[in-house]
């Protein structure tokens, strides 16, 4: 299963503000391993005798984190357009709604620069760089989640972080906070405080830290983006034997898309969203929980799924709920890998099930790597893209280099995917996929949203 969900292996989630967290089955599997490896502890505040769960856990799918030996990012701009580059939003609209701050604070021989802020009705994203001439060398870095204040009031929401070395002395950190449930004024005074930078050992445990604080104060506005925000009320439901969800609204800004719902019970569906051009929105986070004792007793939750932006040219959205049996132990998941097939230098189609397939057009060996060009046909290019496996002559699976592929840039099945594997020198190459047996598309619950 690691191959399917490797994209989220390096997610950091800050849950220290919450008393109890509800995650769906897929999210637990995605982040459990990395939380154990990368966080020394999750500190839960003392609670009263009556425990109330608090809504908002954000799982952020980001680029590869530098938690072991530094791997230097290529092509990430140092000044401006950082968030745009990382999110993969390659369109001019993005620049209109991102504030470039570029303020420096020096503390404990570390220079922290708050580079950019992106703010809309759904998310707050903050890009910062931390630079030191000698502190970072040979270390794995983790920047602790910042404290955020809006007009003097502490912003108490869920969030996640991604980060990567730009060079041996400079670490880039991007924090994403979910604010869809918070009333944020159009024009605000914001304060961002980073309190410490941690260094991690090979097991992901803290071995030392540098303390700040590195504090920034500035003004930012979301009034312009709010003019172009569309809220669509929904009257749709997702109902199966163990899922009961009422979808509330779709909030679409020029930069993000947010789907909110009410949930009865502890099973949640996931969603694929496509537009009428065949482009698939990128899921960036999801979570659900209760906002008090009554909801917890009744098993009633409020939740959301956040996605990338909708194209300005789109006229319709197709919303496809699906269920993931990843953590099921009752036999409902029938996930299996297909029998490897020998590559004979000609196009080959790998069938996953009756509606999904992978078509390989080219495989090339070069400089100790194997490069594969392929496309997908089926329900979701994002669900299918990482289900291509290569094997050597002994039918042993080869290692895929996810940092060198173009997965994050592909949103349409008409586009060619490029995958890179480490070449172990085997004489023959075999290819395979899996049957997507842990995914169940809820066809009866699909619906269309008219954007006009």
Query: Residue 56: its pLDDT value, please?
Result: 35
Are 371 and 418 in contact, with CB atoms under 8 Å apart?
yes
Instruction: Tell me the pLDDT band of 89, cut-offs 50, 70 and 90.
Output: low
Mean pLDDT, rounded, for 215-222: 92
Phi and psi dihedrals of 450, rounded to 5? -85, 125
pLDDT at 163 over 80: yes
Query: Residue 169: its pLDDT value, please?
Result: 85
Mean pLDDT, rounded, for 192-202: 86
Query: Residue 203: its pLDDT value, please?
Result: 67
> What pTM does this model have?
0.76
Question: pLDDT tens digits for 232-267?
Answer: 999 999 988 888 999 999 999 988 999 999 998 778
CA distance 92 to 94: 5
Burial class (CB in 10 A: 0-12, 13-18, 19+), 19: middle
- Parse the chain into domains and list their residue ranges: 341-436
Instruction: Tell me the pLDDT band of 331, cut-offs 50, 70 and 90.
Output: low
Mean pLDDT, rounded, for 435-444: 92
Among candidate residues 232, 65, 91, the one with its CA nearest the CA of residue 161 = 65
CA distance 117 to 119: 6
Instruction: Give start and end residues of each alpha helix (H) in 171-216.
Output: none
Among candidate residues 344, 372, 339, 375, the one with its CA nearest the CA of residue 357 = 375
Question: pLDDT tens digits for 136-155?
Answer: 777 788 888 899 999 999 99
Judged by average pLDDT, the poorest of 8-22, 188-202, 238-252 is 8-22
Instruction: Tell me the pLDDT band of 114, cut-offs 50, 70 and 90.
Output: very high
Mean of the per-residue pLDDT values of the chain:
79
Percentage of the residues of the chain whose pLDDT score is greater than 70 = 75
Question: pLDDT tens digits for 361-390?
Answer: 999 999 999 999 999 999 999 999 999 999
Phi and psi dihedrals of 87, rounded to 5? -75, -20
Instruction: Tell me the pLDDT band of 76, cut-offs 50, 70 and 90.
Output: low
Are 357 and 452 in contact, with CB atoms under 8 Å apart?
no
CA distance 158 to 156: 7
Instruction: Tell me the pLDDT band of 1, cut-offs 50, 70 and 90.
Output: very low
- Helix H or strand E encompassing 357: strand 357-366
- What are the tokens at 249? 């609204």
Instruction: Tell me the pLDDT band of 168, cut-offs 50, 70 and 90.
Output: confident
Query: Residue 135: its pLDDT value, please?
Result: 77
Query: Residue 381: its pLDDT value, please?
Result: 95
- What are the tokens at 310? 């909708």
Query: Residue 146: its pLDDT value, please?
Result: 92
């Amino acid at each position: 299963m690691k191959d399917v969900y490797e994209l989220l292996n390096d997610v950091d989630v800050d849950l220290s503000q919450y008393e109890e967290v509800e995650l769906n089955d897929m999210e637990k599997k995605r982040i459990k391993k990395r939380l154990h490896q990368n966080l020394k502890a999750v500190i839960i505040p003392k609670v009263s005798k009556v425990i109330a769960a608090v809504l908002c856990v954000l799982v952020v799918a980001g680029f590869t984190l530098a938690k072991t030996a530094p791997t230097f990012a290529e092509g990430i701009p140092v000044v401006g357009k950082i968030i745009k580059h990382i999110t993969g939003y390659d369109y001019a609209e993005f620049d209109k709604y991102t504030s470039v701050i570029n303020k420096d604070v020096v503390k404990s021989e570390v220079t922290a620069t708050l580079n950019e802020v992106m703010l809309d009705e759904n998310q707050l994203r903050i890009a910062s760089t931390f630079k030191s001439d000698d502190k970072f060398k040979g270390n794995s870095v983790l920047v602790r989640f910042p404290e955020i204040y809006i007009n003097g009031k502490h912003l108490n929401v869920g969030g996640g972080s991604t980060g990567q070395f730009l060079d041996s002395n400079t670490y880039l950190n991007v924090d994403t906070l979910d604010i869809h449930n918070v009333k944020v004024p159009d024009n605000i005074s914001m304060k961002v405080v980073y309190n410490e930078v941690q260094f991690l050992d090979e097991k992901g445990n803290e071995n030392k830290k540098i303390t700040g604080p590195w504090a920034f104060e500035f003004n930012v506005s979301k009034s312009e983006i709010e003019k172009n925000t569309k809220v669509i009320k929904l009257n749709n439901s997702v109902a199966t034997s163990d899922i009961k969800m009422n979808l509330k609204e779709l909030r679409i800004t020029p930069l993000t898309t947010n789907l909110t719902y009410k949930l009865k019970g502890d099973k949640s569906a996931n969603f694929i969203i496509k537009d009428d051009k065949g482009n698939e929105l990128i899921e960036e986070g999801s979570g659900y929980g209760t906002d008090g004792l009554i909801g917890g007793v009744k098993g009633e939750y409020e939740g959301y799924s956040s996605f990338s932006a909708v194209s300005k040219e789109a006229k319709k959205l197709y919303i496809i709920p699906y269920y993931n049996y990843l953590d099921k132990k009752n036999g409902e998941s029938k996930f299996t890998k297909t029998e490897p097939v020998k590559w004979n230098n000609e196009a080959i189609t790998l069938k996953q099930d009756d509606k999904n397939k992978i078509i390989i057009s080219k495989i090339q060996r070069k400089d100790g790597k194997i490069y594969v060009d392929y496309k997908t046909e089926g329900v979701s290019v994002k669900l299918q893209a990482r289900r291509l496996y290569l094997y050597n002559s002994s039918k042993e699976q080869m290692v895929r280099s996810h940092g060198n592929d173009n997965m994050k840039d592909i949103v349409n099945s008409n586009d060619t995917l490029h995958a890179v594997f480490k070449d172990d020198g085997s004489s023959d190459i075999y290819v395979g996929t899996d049957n997507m047996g842990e995914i169940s598309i809820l066809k009866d619950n699909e619906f269309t949203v008219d954007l006009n």
